[in-house]
Amino acid sequence: MDRVPDSQGQALELLQKCRLDAESFLSPAHLRMGEIEDRLARVQAASGRWQEAAGHLRRSIQAVEAHFGPASIEAGQELFKLAQVLFNGRLAPEALRATQRAEAVLWVHLGTESPQLQELREMRACLEGLLRNLPAEDTPKGLL
Protein backbone atom coordinates (compact mmCIF):
# COMPACT_ATOMS: atom_id res chain seq x y z
CA MET A 1 0.00 0.00 0.00
CA ASP A 2 1.34 3.44 -0.92
CA ARG A 3 2.15 5.76 1.93
CA VAL A 4 -0.17 8.75 2.00
CA PRO A 5 1.39 12.06 3.20
CA ASP A 6 0.41 12.80 6.80
CA SER A 7 -2.15 15.57 6.17
CA GLN A 8 -3.76 13.52 3.40
CA GLY A 9 -3.65 10.45 5.60
CA GLN A 10 -5.37 12.35 8.38
CA ALA A 11 -7.99 13.69 5.97
CA LEU A 12 -8.58 10.20 4.61
CA GLU A 13 -8.94 8.74 8.10
CA LEU A 14 -11.35 11.47 9.21
CA LEU A 15 -13.45 11.18 6.05
CA GLN A 16 -13.62 7.39 6.32
CA LYS A 17 -14.83 7.71 9.91
CA CYS A 18 -17.34 10.33 8.82
CA ARG A 19 -18.62 8.02 6.07
CA LEU A 20 -18.87 5.10 8.49
CA ASP A 21 -20.86 7.21 10.95
CA ALA A 22 -23.10 8.61 8.20
CA GLU A 23 -23.81 5.13 6.81
CA SER A 24 -25.49 4.24 10.09
CA PHE A 25 -28.30 6.76 9.53
CA LEU A 26 -28.21 7.94 5.88
CA SER A 27 -29.05 6.04 2.72
CA PRO A 28 -26.30 5.70 0.07
CA ALA A 29 -28.38 7.99 -2.16
CA HIS A 30 -28.46 10.81 0.41
CA LEU A 31 -26.77 13.95 -0.90
CA ARG A 32 -24.54 14.20 2.20
CA MET A 33 -23.20 10.71 1.41
CA GLY A 34 -22.40 11.92 -2.09
CA GLU A 35 -20.50 14.89 -0.66
CA ILE A 36 -18.47 12.62 1.61
CA GLU A 37 -17.66 10.31 -1.32
CA ASP A 38 -16.63 13.32 -3.42
CA ARG A 39 -14.22 14.48 -0.72
CA LEU A 40 -12.83 10.96 -0.33
CA ALA A 41 -12.26 10.92 -4.09
CA ARG A 42 -10.32 14.19 -3.88
CA VAL A 43 -7.99 12.82 -1.21
CA GLN A 44 -7.44 9.58 -3.12
CA ALA A 45 -6.79 11.45 -6.38
CA ALA A 46 -4.31 13.77 -4.66
CA SER A 47 -2.44 10.61 -3.59
CA GLY A 48 -2.50 9.18 -7.12
CA ARG A 49 -4.94 6.43 -6.14
CA TRP A 50 -7.01 6.74 -9.27
CA GLN A 51 -9.08 3.54 -9.01
CA GLU A 52 -10.03 4.28 -5.41
CA ALA A 53 -10.93 7.85 -6.37
CA ALA A 54 -13.06 6.55 -9.24
CA GLY A 55 -14.95 4.23 -6.89
CA HIS A 56 -15.78 7.12 -4.58
CA LEU A 57 -16.86 9.28 -7.51
CA ARG A 58 -19.16 6.54 -8.81
CA ARG A 59 -20.89 6.46 -5.43
CA SER A 60 -21.06 10.26 -5.40
CA ILE A 61 -22.63 10.21 -8.87
CA GLN A 62 -25.32 7.81 -7.66
CA ALA A 63 -26.27 10.18 -4.85
CA VAL A 64 -26.15 13.27 -7.07
CA GLU A 65 -28.27 11.60 -9.75
CA ALA A 66 -30.80 10.45 -7.14
CA HIS A 67 -31.08 14.00 -5.79
CA PHE A 68 -30.76 16.20 -8.91
CA GLY A 69 -31.36 13.76 -11.78
CA PRO A 70 -28.97 12.12 -14.26
CA ALA A 71 -29.12 15.04 -16.72
CA SER A 72 -28.45 17.76 -14.12
CA ILE A 73 -25.47 20.09 -14.15
CA GLU A 74 -24.46 18.58 -10.79
CA ALA A 75 -24.36 15.10 -12.30
CA GLY A 76 -22.40 16.48 -15.25
CA GLN A 77 -19.80 18.00 -12.92
CA GLU A 78 -19.35 14.70 -11.09
CA LEU A 79 -19.06 12.84 -14.42
CA PHE A 80 -16.42 15.37 -15.48
CA LYS A 81 -14.41 14.59 -12.33
CA LEU A 82 -14.79 10.85 -12.99
CA ALA A 83 -13.56 11.28 -16.56
CA GLN A 84 -10.49 13.18 -15.32
CA VAL A 85 -9.69 10.59 -12.66
CA LEU A 86 -10.06 7.66 -15.07
CA PHE A 87 -8.00 9.49 -17.70
CA ASN A 88 -5.24 10.23 -15.18
CA GLY A 89 -5.44 6.64 -13.96
CA ARG A 90 -4.91 5.40 -17.52
CA LEU A 91 -8.15 3.43 -17.57
CA ALA A 92 -8.86 4.21 -21.21
CA PRO A 93 -12.15 2.42 -22.01
CA GLU A 94 -13.79 3.57 -18.76
CA ALA A 95 -12.41 7.08 -19.21
CA LEU A 96 -13.84 7.24 -22.72
CA ARG A 97 -17.30 6.20 -21.51
CA ALA A 98 -17.20 8.74 -18.66
CA THR A 99 -16.00 11.44 -21.05
CA GLN A 100 -18.86 10.76 -23.45
CA ARG A 101 -21.44 10.78 -20.64
CA ALA A 102 -20.05 14.01 -19.17
CA GLU A 103 -20.04 15.67 -22.60
CA ALA A 104 -23.65 14.70 -23.25
CA VAL A 105 -24.82 16.18 -19.94
CA LEU A 106 -22.63 19.28 -19.80
CA TRP A 107 -23.24 20.29 -23.41
CA VAL A 108 -26.89 21.00 -22.54
CA HIS A 109 -25.98 23.18 -19.56
CA LEU A 110 -22.74 24.88 -20.61
CA GLY A 111 -22.95 25.19 -24.38
CA THR A 112 -20.43 24.00 -26.91
CA GLU A 113 -17.60 26.42 -26.13
CA SER A 114 -17.13 25.92 -22.40
CA PRO A 115 -13.61 25.12 -21.13
CA GLN A 116 -14.88 21.91 -19.53
CA LEU A 117 -16.34 20.68 -22.80
CA GLN A 118 -13.13 21.59 -24.61
CA GLU A 119 -11.14 19.56 -22.08
CA LEU A 120 -13.55 16.63 -22.45
CA ARG A 121 -13.23 16.76 -26.26
CA GLU A 122 -9.44 16.74 -25.98
CA MET A 123 -9.52 13.78 -23.59
CA ARG A 124 -11.96 11.94 -25.86
CA ALA A 125 -9.80 12.52 -28.95
CA CYS A 126 -6.72 11.26 -27.09
CA LEU A 127 -8.54 8.19 -25.78
CA GLU A 128 -10.14 7.34 -29.12
CA GLY A 129 -6.75 7.56 -30.83
CA LEU A 130 -5.15 5.43 -28.18
CA LEU A 131 -7.85 2.77 -28.24
CA ARG A 132 -7.73 2.65 -32.04
CA ASN A 133 -4.03 1.84 -31.89
CA LEU A 134 -4.14 -0.74 -29.10
CA PRO A 135 -4.01 -4.42 -30.00
CA ALA A 136 -7.43 -6.02 -29.48
CA GLU A 137 -6.25 -8.13 -26.54
CA ASP A 138 -5.16 -4.99 -24.62
CA THR A 139 -8.41 -3.05 -25.01
CA PRO A 140 -10.53 -4.78 -22.30
CA LYS A 141 -7.81 -4.31 -19.69
CA GLY A 142 -8.33 -0.56 -19.85
CA LEU A 143 -4.68 0.40 -19.67
CA LEU A 144 -3.13 3.35 -21.45
CATH no. for residue 110? 1.25.40.10
Confirm whether 26 is domain-assigned: yes
Would you state the pLDDT for residue 6?
Answer: 72
Would you state the pLDDT for residue 135?
Answer: 72
Would you state the pLDDT for residue 139?
Answer: 52
Confirm whether 46 is domain-assigned: yes
Q: How many domains does the chain have?
A: 1
Higher-confidence residue of 26 and 2: namely 26
Confirm whether 28 is domain-assigned: yes
Confirm whether 143 is domain-assigned: no
Confirm whether 43 is domain-assigned: yes
Kindly indicate the confidence band of residue 13, based on its pLDDT and cuts at 50, 70 and 90.
Answer: confident
Domain holding 107, by residue range, is 10-131
SS (H, E, C) the chain: CCCCCHHHHHHHHHHHHHHHHHHCCCCCCCHHHHHHHHHHHHHHHHCCCHHHHHHHHHHHHHHHHHHHCCCCHHHHHHHHHHHHHHHHCCEHHHHHHHHHHHHHHHHHHHCCCCHHHHHHHHHHHHHHHHHHHCCCCCHHHCEC
- Mean pLDDT to the nearest integer, 68-78: 97
